[in-house]
Structure 1
Amino acid sequence: WHLHLQIHFSCSPLSSSVSDWCYQSQYTCNNTCTGPARWGKVSEHCDGRTQSPVNIVRKRVLPDGRLTPFQLSDYLHRFRGHLVNNGHSVQLDLPSHIKISGGNLPVTYKALQLHLHWGKHGGPGSEHLIDGEQFPMEIHIVHLKEKYHSLSEALKDRAGLAVLGFFFQESESENKNFSPIINALEDIIQPYNSTMLDLSLAELIPDFKSLNEYFRYDGSLTTPSCAEAVVWTVFEHTIPLSRNQLSAFSKLKFSDGQPMINSYRPVQPLNGRQVYYSRGHLATTSNMLILLAALVTYSTL
């Protein structure tokens, strides 16, 4: 269990630039940028009532039979993508022919970009928590409704974006599928540097069969403008990365030149929102019970 500690410094906030938002790890007396507690000054949405990320408490989630498996289109397709240090995170632009549907999404959504949030040298750094546990890293694959031509258009719609979130877990061995991204980090240590990558989304996420178990809730972007326009899907199955691979991200620099560490927003209150859970595991359990019942019946004949 990892607790989020908010440290408040006694230096004056008056010298901060409102547009210059930052993470808590960047906030010092010498650098009074606008930290997460004051993001409402950057965008009023950040003080809204349906903000992300959240702590997902298993005992309080409701199973929802409408949360069926996703249809992932062109996730196996290899593409050449633009990887950039955008000053706040690592971002990979995605081709719009990659699409998702199903999973009780209202329409088909097309891919826009993916980015990551992490801790310090492989320490706690995910944005969402499960029962108070913070994972080392979290990837967000951002999609917008197929009909929209821009992010700004999608952000005006309460369900304009569909974001798939996956947690990382430290593993003994390296995850070779992530080698292209890890190796490319050397080229984008400095803010606003970029490079090109060849890969497919399927290589980066867990096996398709394990994508039936996920949490769903309505929320927001986790960085300013914090627009409340996101249908969130947070998957249970984690992505393995070695300690060295996780630590590689901590070599990057924020836009202010400081080490890019602890790049996550603290969890936000649910304010009465319900988190739902897909019934993937329940269906499997009931199938097993039917099978066991059949075996018992057969053995007593």
Structure 2
Amino acid sequence: MFDKRVSKVTICCFLFICIQSTGYSAQSQDQTSSRTNTLFDDADDIQRQLDNEARDRIKFGRVSFIANKGRRMHVFNSLQPKTIWVFHFPTHYPDHNSIMNHVEQQVVRYPREYSAAEKKTDDEDYDESMITPPLPASSEWDYNNQAKWIKHFPDCGGKSQSPVDLPITGLIKARGARNLLFQNYDVEPKSMLLENDGKRVVLSGEWKSEQRPLIYGGAAHSRRYLFHSMALHLPSEHTVGGLQYPLESQALYVSAEYKGVEEALEASPSDPQAFLAVANLYKYSNHTHKGIEEILSSAKSLSNNSKNVSLSAKCLSHFNPPFKEYACYQGSMTVPPCTESVLWLIRGRALSIMRETVEAAQSLMVAEGDPKHLFFRNAQPLNDRKVFLFN
């Protein structure tokens, strides 16, 4: 009689284990499809596999009891996941039109929330947060006393300062990079303003928020940078192999993640690329680039009594034409507060300017009749920074 009971218990245990094993096999079988999988489909399948393994571990990996012996054993203990899967999917770049539609509809119009906002009137739709140049009060610093900047602006003594002397050799070529995308460069602003604060001539404009010029792609990768202002330095601040050019224009852009310059400056300690700057170097030639010629011609109207003057509104490409070849390095603003959060793009081909035009511009920039007054910051040490070449 006792042997029959033992036999019944043994048979029940055997059936129980078989049923559990069958259920496990059915749940853990691979899901297949006749359709060819994409990378994203494969990722979904593997994620489901990992979920199944985790679920099986909870279900079958617990400590079980064998009733008739009172012993403990681990059932399917080998089902614990042994591999961690890490996927690096290639960046998906949509076609040009879809990028521009997304930028216009989402990134530029709603840079902070990427969501719908209340409808604005025509006057309210103009972006005023990008008009005022990001300069401290003029009395706080001077180009002739650059060594003292660090006392009031500690960042000016950092190790990633701009401008720099770009080396002729040792540049790192970036291969397979996308071209820069210049959006809204052909859109005329509502107005343009030229300002001379005694240190620089600065050009700014007023566009509707969804029409403000921006840069995307290339060294900027997936970030979008909105145009803020363009300043002139005479002679150039950046040098190439020790050679200083007669003129340099610097276009400043602010990341679309921020509402304006002030917010970007606040975020700069944790965001080394809150700003982007484009430097255009000018070399002597028998003609002058039309954009810079108009700026310098309008600058003649500036005087001690008039620190700013309206400029004929034209699209940004007229003053800062798009380009494909450029050098890139991580740097700072070239004026106080010298914030080290600027991605610098140096145009690969210099623009043209006549010697007579440069001499006329120099006479405009002389402050208080002092011909020795400086209007540029000296080149800063490159230190261990790398300079990348995109072409």
TM-score (norm: length of structure 2): 0.58
Task: Give the conservation status (yes or no) of the 8 Å contact 2:327–2:345.
Answer: yes
Say which SS state the counterpart of residue 282 (structure 2) adopts: strand
Hey, which of these two has a bigger chunk of strand by percent?
A: 1
Counterpart check, 1:23 vs 2:140: no
Task: Give the conservation status (yes or no) of the 8 Å contact 2:283–2:353.
Answer: yes
User: How far apart in 2 are the matches of 1:139 and 1:191?
Assistant: 25
Counterpart check, 1:101 vs 2:213: no
Say which SS state the counterpart of residue 345 (structure 2) adopts: strand
User: How far apart in 2 are the matches of 1:55 and 1:21?
Assistant: 23
User: How far apart in 2 are the matches of 1:150 and 1:126?
Assistant: 27
User: How far apart in 2 are the matches of 1:262 and 1:255?
Assistant: 9
Structure-1 residue corresponding to 2:182: 72
Aligned counterpart for 1:165 among listed residues 266, 279, 296? 279
Using a 3 Å threshold, how does the CA distance of structure 1 residues 37 and 67 change in structure 2: closer, same or farther? farther
Structure-1 residue corresponding to 2:250: 140
User: How far apart in 2 are the matches of 1:221 and 1:59?
Assistant: 25
Structure-1 residue corresponding to 2:378: 266
User: How far apart in 2 are the matches of 1:254 and 1:175?
Assistant: 23
Counterpart check, 1:126 vs 2:236: yes
User: How far apart in 1 are the matches of 2:188 and 2:370?
Assistant: 34
Task: Give the conservation status (yes or no) of the 8 Å contact 1:161–1:231.
Answer: yes
User: How far apart in 1 are the matches of 2:280 and 2:262?
Assistant: 24
Say which SS state the counterpart of residue 111 (structure 1) adopts: strand
Q: Taking every aligned residue pair, what percent have the same amino acid on both sides?
A: 27
Per-residue Cα deviation, 1:83-132 (whole angstroms, up to 9, x for no partner): 111221000113461111011314111011000101xxxxxx11111111
Q: Which amino acid aligns with 2:263?
A: E
Structure-1 residue corresponding to 2:28: none
User: How far apart in 2 are the matches of 1:189 and 1:241?
Assistant: 23
Number of aligned residues:
244
Q: Which amino acid aligns with 1:223?
A: V
Structure-1 residue corresponding to 2:364: 252
TM-score (norm: length of structure 1): 0.75
Counterpart check, 1:236 vs 2:351: no
Structure-2 residue corresponding to 1:87: 198
Task: Give the conservation status (yes or no) of the 8 Å contact 1:54–1:268.
Answer: yes
Counterpart check, 1:202 vs 2:317: yes
1:252, distance to aligned residue in structure 2 (A): 2.4
Q: Which amino acid aligns with 2:389?
A: Y
User: How far apart in 2 are the matches of 1:256 and 1:193?
Assistant: 14
Using a 3 Å threshold, how does the CA distance of structure 1 residues 262 and 200 change in structure 2: closer, same or farther? farther
User: How far apart in 2 are the matches of 1:230 and 1:66?
Assistant: 23
Per-residue Cα deviation, 1:244-301 (whole angstroms, up to 9, x for no partner): 22222212246666459641111111121111111x2xxxxxxxxxxxxxxxxxxxxx
Hey, which of these two has a bigger chunk of helix by percent?
A: 2
Task: Give the conservation status (yes or no) of the 8 Å contact 1:251–1:260.
Answer: no
Task: Give the conservation status (yes or no) of the 8 Å contact 2:219–2:328.
Answer: no
Using a 3 Å threshold, how does the CA distance of structure 1 residues 189 and 182 change in structure 2: closer, same or farther? same
Structure-2 residue corresponding to 1:193: 307
User: How far apart in 2 are the matches of 1:254 and 1:44?
Assistant: 28
Structure-2 residue corresponding to 1:222: 334
User: How far apart in 2 are the matches of 1:51 and 1:113?
Assistant: 20
Q: Give structure 2 stretches of 5+ with no counterpart.
A: 1-137
Task: Give the conservation status (yes or no) of the 8 Å contact 2:367–2:373.
Answer: no
Q: Give structure 1 stretches of 5+ with no counterpart.
A: 1-17, 25-34, 119-124, 281-301
